[in-house]
């Protein structure tokens, strides 16, 4: 349990850093890089993301203490747990991240609170999450009804996730 | 696979191959398995087949093929083609030319290919038949472009998984939606199939763009236009009113500020 919480802590703080990183370079082709594996302590790589934020970080990204929002026993390391980080004030407003951890790996990351006060300003308000393929939510375990994507084609239908979702109700 | 719908509510699905795409329909509600609902769904499919017969670029006898061979003048093609032509012109304006049904033919002229707009337009139009079924939820998935409505008390919002373009058995995130549209365009898996109408060459470098909003026609057009925008896709989507977007590019996924929270 302790190990998981530590991993979650580093992930949440890493994500917070991403959120507070000024995204003005994105429109100009900048990349918010993060090659870290979220479940394994990604502070190293996300830290480098922070340093590329030459447009300024807030200094308010105190690492939040995750709180377990579900019950969950300490022995069940494979159980799905949701952690919600503390709300952190950034220069654009409060940011709060919730992550889902299964067997010590982050399976989902959600900004439950993020700045929206400035409406349409992409430079300020857009947020970016890294694609971490190991941690991307496995569709087979996600509760979904439909799939939006480029592979829902006639050629690929039989193998597609959508066909499985359809078959459940045909 | 776990399903989000309430098990007590009947849920029926259908799938037909039309317009070169698998088109799935899901209906939830007390009469989802009734003959009446089945008939409405089949009428919807019939309408889509009729639209395909008019607009298919693969069928030599379609109106679009005859227009492109010079056998049929645009102004003589009838009111349905007129409506699509009008919408294609509006789409070109709204996307600063990043969506254009008149593509360079490489010989100094243009050819007319409204496919990128017709799918969303046709599904939205045909789904009016499902809208007439009171007290039921429905979802239509036409090749990854989705139109939804929820109105049954107690059912969960439809949960739409946004496919990871690099790993189609995974979803990047899940968007819960009551009603509206989700469209994804991109170069995943079939090679780059979006042409930048401004250059006639393969479009930008956005791997995939998903747009969520009230209209499937416009979500689809905006997603296609954003792929063409490449590096500028996110800022362009952010400026759109009523629509939100997710851009997969250079190994990152970024969304506009109001993109629906996932869970």
Q: Do A88 and A22 sit in the same domain of this protein?
A: yes
Q: Do A114 and A170 sit in the same domain of this protein?
A: no
The Cβ of residue B216 has, within 10 Å, a number of other Cβ atoms equal to: 27
pLDDT in tens, A52-95: 333 333 333 333 344 444 333 333 456 776 666 555 554 444 55
Q: CATH homologous superfamily of domain B11-255? A: ApbE-like domains (3.10.520.10)
What pLDDT score was predicted for residue A120? Answer: 32
What pLDDT score was predicted for residue B137? Answer: 96
What pLDDT score was predicted for residue A152? Answer: 63
How far does CA A67 lie from the centroid of its chain?
16
Q: Do A112 and A133 sit in the same domain of this protein?
A: yes
Residue A91: name the closest of A65, A129, A49, A53 by CA. A53
Q: Do A50 and A72 sit in the same domain of this protein?
A: yes
pLDDT in tens, B15-27: 999 988 889 999 9
Residue B19: name the closest of B151, B158, B118, B127 by CA. B118
pLDDT band at A24 (very low <50, low <70, confident <90, very high): very low
Q: Do A118 and A162 sit in the same domain of this protein?
A: no
Interface test with B, best of A141, A149, A159, A162 (most B CBs within 10 A): A149
CA angle B38, B179, B172 (to 5 degrees): 105
Q: What is residue A152's DSSP assignment?
A: -
Does A122 contact B234 at a Cβ distance shorter than 8 Å?
A: yes
Q: Do A156 and A88 sit in the same domain of this protein?
A: no
Q: What is residue A85's DSSP assignment?
A: P
The continuous run of DSSP H or E covering A96 comes out as strand A93-102
Q: Which residues of A touch B182 (CB under 8 A)?
A: 146, 148
What pLDDT score was predicted for residue A144? Answer: 81
- CA dist., res. B127 & res. B54, Å (int): 18
Ranges in chain B, pLDDT < 70: 1-7, 188-193, 203-204, 261-263
Q: Do A68 and A104 sit in the same domain of this protein?
A: yes
Which domain does A156 fall in, by range?
A: 138-170
B94 touches A: beta carbon within 8 Å = no
Does A148 contact B182 at a Cβ distance shorter than 8 Å?
A: yes
Q: Do A84 and A159 sit in the same domain of this protein?
A: no
- CA dist., res. B115 & res. B101, Å (int): 8
Residue A169 has pLDDT above 90, yes or no: no
Q: In chain B, where does DSSP find H-type helix?
A: 35-55, 63-68, 79-94, 115-126, 128-131, 216-229, 233-238
CB of B237 closer than 8 Å to CB of B227:
no
B160 touches A: beta carbon within 8 Å = yes
Q: Do A42 and A108 sit in the same domain of this protein?
A: yes
The chain-wide mean pLDDT, for chain A, equals: 46
pLDDT in tens, A93-107: 455 555 666 665 555
Give the chain A residue whose CA is nearest to the CA of B184: A149
ipTM: 0.86
Q: Do A32 and A21 sit in the same domain of this protein?
A: yes
Higher pLDDT, B221 or A46: B221
Domain ranges of chain B: 11-255
Name the β-bridge partners of B111: B103
Residue A125 has pLDDT above 80, yes or no: no
**How many structural domains is chain A composed of?**
2
Q: Do A81 and A154 sit in the same domain of this protein?
A: no
């Amino acid at each position: 349990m302790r190990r998981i919480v530590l991993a979650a802590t580093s992930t949440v703080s890493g994500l917070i850093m991403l959120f507070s990183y000024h995204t003005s370079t994105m429109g100009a082709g900048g990349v918010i890089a993060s090659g870290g594996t979220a479940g394994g302590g990604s502070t190293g790589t996300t830290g480098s993301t922070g340093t590329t934020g030459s447009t300024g970080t807030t200094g308010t990204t105190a690492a939040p203490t995750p709180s377990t929002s579900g019950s969950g026993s300490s022995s069940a390391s494979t159980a799905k747990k949701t952690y919600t980080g503390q709300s952190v004030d950034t220069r654009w407003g409060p940011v709060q991240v919730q992550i889902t951890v299964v067997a010590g790996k982050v399976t989902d990351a959600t900004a439950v609170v993020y700045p929206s006060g400035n409406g349409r300003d992409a430079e300020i308000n857009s947020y970016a999450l890294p694609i971490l393929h190991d941690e991307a939510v496995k569709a087979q375990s996600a509760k979904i009804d439909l799939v939006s994507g480029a592979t829902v084609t006639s050629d690929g239908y039989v193998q597609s996730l959508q066909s499985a979702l359809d078959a459940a109700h045909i | 696979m776990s399903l989000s719908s309430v098990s007590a509510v009947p849920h029926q699905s259908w799938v037909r191959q039309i317009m070169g795409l698998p088109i799935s329909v899901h209906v939830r509600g007390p009469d989802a398995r009734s003959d009446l609902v089945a008939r409405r769904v089949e009428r919807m499919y019939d309408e889509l087949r009729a639209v395909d017969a008019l607009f298919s670029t693969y069928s030599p006898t379609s109106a679009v093929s005859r227009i492109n061979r010079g056998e049929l003048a645009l102004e003589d093609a009838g009111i349905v083609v007129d409506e699509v032509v009008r919408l294609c012109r509006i789409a070109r304006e709204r996307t600063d030319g990043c969506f254009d049904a008149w593509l360079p033919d490489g010989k100094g002229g243009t050819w007319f290919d409204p496919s990128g707009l017709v799918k969303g337009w046709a599904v939205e139009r045909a789904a009016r038949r499902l809208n007439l079924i009171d007290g039921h939820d429905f979802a239509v998935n036409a090749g990854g472009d989705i139109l939804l409505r929820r109105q049954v008390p107690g059912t969960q919002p439809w949960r739409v998984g946004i496919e990871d373009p690099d790993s189609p058995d995974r979803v990047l995130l899940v968007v819960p939606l009551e009603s509206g549209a989700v469209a994804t365009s991109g170069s995943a898996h079939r090679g780059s199939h979006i042409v930048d109408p401004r250059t006639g060459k393969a479009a930008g470098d956005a791997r995939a763009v998903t747009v969520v909003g009230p209209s499937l026609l416009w979500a689809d057009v905006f997603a296609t236009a954003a792929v063409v925008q490449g590096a500028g896709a996110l800022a362009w989507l952010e400026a759109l009113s009523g629509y939100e977007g997710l851009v997969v590019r250079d190994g990152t996924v970024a969304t506009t500020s109001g993109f629906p929270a996932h869970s």
